[in-house]
């Protein structure tokens, strides 16, 4: 297969503000800012972008993140302004994950890995 994910774009009516929130949450740097389109790059060729779309509502796509200490990352992200949505466990307890929402209501998950 020759395709790989290079960027995920989130539609929002406040791209600069949301990009700054994710920049604080994940690190990286602003690699492009055209006002209505702001990109956060992570140095490995991947990026997360935020584009202006009037009247947008949170999307149906979400991002899954893994962390060595998921509980610590969840607490840090909630402190930074994320909203705790739910905690889940895979059947048989194989792994757990927490669903959070960014300041625009876009949901994302944090787990120890799976």
Q: Which helix (H) or strand (E) element contains residue 41?
A: strand 37-41
pLDDT per residue of the chain (114 residues) written in tens, 0 to 9: 665 777 899 999 999 999 999 999 999 999 999 999 999 999 998 999 999 988 888 776 778 898 989 999 999 999 999 999 999 988 888 788 999 999 999 999 999 865
**Going by C-beta distance under 8 Å and a sequence separation of 6 or more, which residues neighbour residue 55?**
13
């Amino acid at each position: 297969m020759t395709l790989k994910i290079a960027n995920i774009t989130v539609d929002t009516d406040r791209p600069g503000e949301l990009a700054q929130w994710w920049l604080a949450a994940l690190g990286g740097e602003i690699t492009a800012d055209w006002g209505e389109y702001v990109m956060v790059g992570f140095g490995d060729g991947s990026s997360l972008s935020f584009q202006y779309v009037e009247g947008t509502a949170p999307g149906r796509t979400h991002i899954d993140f893994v962390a060595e200490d998921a509980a610590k990352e969840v607490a840090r992200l909630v402190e930074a302004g994320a909203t705790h949505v739910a905690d889940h466990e895979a059947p048989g307890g194989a792994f757990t994950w927490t669903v959070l929402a960014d300041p625009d209501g876009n949901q994302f998950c944090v787990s120890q890995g799976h």
